[in-house]
Amino acid sequence: MSKQEQHWEKSKGLLMMTLAIWFVFSIGIFLFGAEMNEVTGPFGYPLTYWFTCQGSLGIFVILIFWFANRQEKIDEEFGFSERGDD
Amino acid sequence: MIKGNFIDNLPKVYGIYTGGFLGFIIIMSIAEQMGMTAKTIGICFVAFTVAIYAIIGYLSRTAQADAYYVAGRQVPTVFNGMATAADWMSGASFVAMAGGIYFKGYGYMALLVGWTGGYVLVASLLAPYLRKFGCYTVPDFIGTRYGGNLSRFMAVVVLTVASFTYVTAQINATGTIASVALDIPFQYAVYVGLISILLCSMLGGMRGVTWTQVAQYIVLIIAYLLPVFWISNKMGAGFFPHFMLADEVSRIAELEAQFGFVKNSAENLKEVPKGLAGITKAHSAVNATPWAFISLALAMMMGTASLPHVMMRYFTTPSVKAARKSVGWSLFFIFLLYSSAPMLATLSKLSLIDPSLPTGIIGKSIAEVQSIDWYQNWNQANLMFVSDFNGNGTLELNEFFMGGKAVVLATPEIAGLPYVISGLVAAGGMAAAMSTADGLILAIANAISHDVYYKIIDPKAETAKRLVVARVLLVVIGFAGATIAALEIQGILGSVIWAFDFAMSGLFFPLVLGVWWKRANKEGAIAGMFLGLVSGAAYLVWVRTGGSGFLGITQLTFGIFGSAVSLVAMVVVSLMTQAPNAATQKMVDEVRIPAGKSILGKQH
């Protein structure tokens, strides 16, 4: 496998992982919205309510930065990162 | 004070700007103490901020294609994040979102999840690859990746349909705010709004829009957060509302159980002015089926990843790496406002319905409520209404009606904040609506001037001529939008949601598969865009004209049907026709690695 193919395999793996986490917090948990809302979540809010107004939103922010860092590492590993400016 | 390169000095420039704006707020509050009228304060806020944007727009003027279309590709990560957040958060987010949460609770929160979750798709599937491509517009990517004028033209069509649906709503919102703040009739205020919008984008194109959007973000976030924190502290609900409103949320649930949701008869509801609603849904309980919630969230997420005015913001970063990070910053800046909207809705609702609070009106006598100053003001503005349906003389939960906008606009006044805050909120709403309208008008005008005029009609046109065409289109599209906005056909929020559905129907899969599926070819993309858009639009028309729909897909989520058709059409047609040639396949390989030259040159 060429260097470029390996790089793309790894990038695809990262994409799958990112999309899986995204799926859980944007779709998965809301399949059980009614049941989860019985539980008290962070700061004392009902759990599903908390996810809709802070939890999922905050997790998406962290997820994007995490993804960006991981992808940068993959690019560096194969020598495909850009030089110079940020 | 400021030396050297503008880009290097950005933190300093916007630091001074923010300080100046805070100073202006303080001056205005002193003026209020000295007896300046509410109306003058409103005019000062709107006029002062719009004048600043116009100055930034003028200073950003340019005669270079690179600067006009992609701001010279040198916008730093964090500032691009702010500009995207302003581009993204429209009049609907600013004025209508807290109101939607107030009235519809959980079912509406799907929009919050959808409008943020979509950025994960933007960051992982598209933005960095389109940045590497080096295109000026979204159709530029489609046209080059798939080849041929027809695919490019189809992309322009989808972009125009989606963005134009969206922009009329934004011009409508600027008009509404301008007409309230400046006290002029709506049909003139729409054009005042339009001229303010064009002042930002005409001379500098993307460069002008970028630097005004950063300025607009600063205004709108201050205007949103300051009242939320202030009200929370004043009510004694907690100094940091986001972490401290659990008691208030459960108190609302308690009151809801105590009052009950009494259903009004159709006859009684006829009395209520159009556009006002009562509280009929639980605040924090799950009040929608999983599919209703998930389908709306999913449609908004895929729509986010297909809307060209957002995507083109990531063409302006200096590198692929920066484009990825910039998506994270965008969502962070959006999160600041979105996570505050439910808090504002909670504070607003509790202060109105809790009889044990001095501001609470439920349980008071109707005559007493009707004599409150703020009630009279907002009743006159057609945003509040009470009526004694059961004739017992006291106000019940089902007898109080409010417009969605009132949650953001009226809560500061109800909570007893000085008028200067209301002026600030007007300036914030104006900034939110203007920044989105600018991004959208520019997206349409750039697509038509670059992709239709330059790439299809006259590929030999000189830069000067291209930029004249781009600017003329900007004005024409702006006026067309304003004219339709003045007709007031569809509500602000409804048309915003439709725009997402149109975009995802036609563009989501052609964009994503363009990067992630090498086998995707021109014929497939054209079929995907055409059939996706047509079937989505047909479904909308069908449901609007009394059709029953299927699978629980409503007029707000028709993009799910459209994009499914688009995916099937694209895959089937691609596989039935010839694979893309070696050059195209190599181009896709190139796009997938950040290093090396972009596919399209610096000047193209």
Tens digits of residue pLDDT in B410-442: 888 888 888 899 889 988 988 888 888 888 888
Domains and CATH numbers, chain B: 20-255+282-347+419-490 (1.20.1730.10)
- The reported pLDDT for the residue numbered B489 is 66
Strand partners for B464: none
Query: What is the spatial distance between Cα A7 and Cα A79, in angstroms, rounded to a whole number?
Result: 10
Q: What is the pLDDT of residue B263?
A: 82
CA distance A78 to chain B (A): 10
**Whole-model pTM?**
0.92
Give the pLDDT mean for B248-256.
83
In terms of CA atoms, which chain A residue is nearest residue B295?
A27
List Cβ<8 Å contacts ≥24 apart for B99-103. B99/B345, B99/B403, B99/B404, B99/B405, B99/B406, B99/B407, B99/B408, B100/B404, B100/B493, B101/B341, B101/B342, B101/B345, B102/B279, B102/B345, B102/B348, B102/B349, B102/B404, B102/B407, B103/B277, B103/B279, B103/B280, B103/B281, B103/B404
Give residue A70's pLDDT band: very low, low, confident or very high (50, 70, 90).
very high
Instruction: State which residue of chain A sits closest to B109, comparing Cα positions.
Output: A52
A30, B324: Cβ pair inside 8 Å?
Answer: no
Distance CA B294, CA A48 (A): 13
The position carrying tokens 């520019």 is B442
Per-residue pLDDT of B147-182, as tens digits, reads 888 999 899 999 988 988 888 888 888 887 788 777
Q: What is the pLDDT of residues B192-209, one digit of tens each?
A: 888 888 888 888 888 888
Residue B400, strand partner residues: B386
Beta bridge partners, B433, equal none
Q: Report the SS3 class of residue B383.
A: coil
* pLDDT score for B270: 83
Higher pLDDT, A1 or A4: A4
pLDDT digits (tens, 9 = 90+) for A24-60: 999 999 999 888 888 888 888 889 999 999 999 999 9
Residue of A nearest to B76 (CA): A86
Touching B: A residues 15-44, CB under 8 Å:
15, 18-19, 22, 25-27, 30-34, 37, 43-44
pLDDT of residue B602: 59
**Between B509 and B584, where is the model more confident?**
B509
The answer to whether B120 contacts chain A (CB < 8 Å) is yes
Question: Which B residues 69-88 touch A at CB under 8 Å?
Answer: 77
More confident residue, B593 or A17: A17
Q: Find chain A residues with C-beta within 8 A of B318's C-beta.
A: 85-86
pLDDT for res B392: 85
**Residue of B102, B111, B286, B335 to mutate when probing chain A, most A C-beta within 10 A:** B286
Residue B197's H or E segment, with its range, is helix B186-201
Distance from CA of B315 to the nearest CA of A (A): 14
Q: What is the pLDDT of residues B71-128, one digit of tens each?
A: 888 888 999 999 999 999 988 788 888 988 999 888 889 999 999 999 999 999 999 9
Q: How confident is the model at residue B492 (pLDDT cuts 50, 70, 90)?
A: low
Cα nearest neighbour of A12 on chain B = B516
In this structure, is the dihedral angle defined by the CA atoms of residues B301, B305, B306 and B309, taken in order, positive or negative?
positive
Backbone angles phi, psi at B397, to 5 degrees: -60, -40
Percent of all residues in chain B with a pLDDT value above 90, rounded to a whole number: 29
The SS3 assignment for B400 reads strand
Closest CA to B598 of B317, B327, B330, B326: B317
Share of chain B above pLDDT 70, in %: 98
Helix (H, G, I), strand (E, B) or coil at B338: helix
B63 contact partners, CB below 8 Å, separation of at least 6:
B463, B464, B467
Mutate to test the interface with A, among B289, B512, B593, B598 (most CBs of A within 10 A): B593
Cα-based distances in Å from A68 to A71, B162, B511, B566: 5, 29, 20, 29
Check A68 against B328: CB less than 8 A apart: yes
pLDDT of residue B3: 57
**Measured distance between the N- and C-terminal CA atoms of chain A, rounded to whole angstroms:** 30
User: Is residue B604's pLDDT more than 70?
Assistant: no
Quote the pLDDT of residue B252: 85
Q: Name the range with the highest mean pLDDT among B170-174, B221-225, B245-249.
A: B221-225
Region of poorest pLDDT, from B100-109, B170-179, B337-346, B366-375: B170-179
Per the CB < 8 Å rule, is B286 touching A48?
A: yes
Report ipTM for this prediction.
0.94
**pLDDT band at residue B254 using 50, 70 and 90 as cut-offs:** confident
* A85 CB within 8 Å of a chain B CB: yes
**Where does the pLDDT of residue B490 fall: very low under 50, low under 70, confident under 90, or very high at 90 and above?**
low
B402 strand-pairing partners:
B277, B384
- Domain ranges in chain A are 31-79
Nearest to B341 by CA among B214, B218, B241: B241
Residue B274, pLDDT above cutoff 90: no
Instruction: Name the pLDDT band for A85 (thresholds 50, 70, 90).
Output: very low
Instruction: State the count of interchain CB pairs (< 8 A) between A and B.
Output: 155
> Which of B7, B124, B349 to probe by mutation at the A interface, max A CB count within 10 Å?
B124
Q: Whole-number mean pLDDT of chain B?
A: 87
> Residue B345 to residues B99, B128, B404, B596: CA-CA distances in angstroms?
7, 36, 10, 49
Question: Does residue B1 have a pLDDT over 50?
Answer: no
Q: Give me B271's structure tokens.
A: 């009395």
Q: Residue B16: pLDDT above 50?
A: yes
Residue, of B21 and B270, whose pLDDT is higher: B21
Please give the biggest Cα pair distance in chain A: 53
pLDDT-derived band at B524, boundaries 50, 70, 90: very high
Q: Does B550 touch chain A (CB under 8 A)?
A: no
> Are B180 and B430 a contacting pair, CB within 8 Å?
no
| Kind and range of the H or E run holding B277 | strand B276-277
Contacts of A81 in chain B (CB under 8 A): 321, 594-595
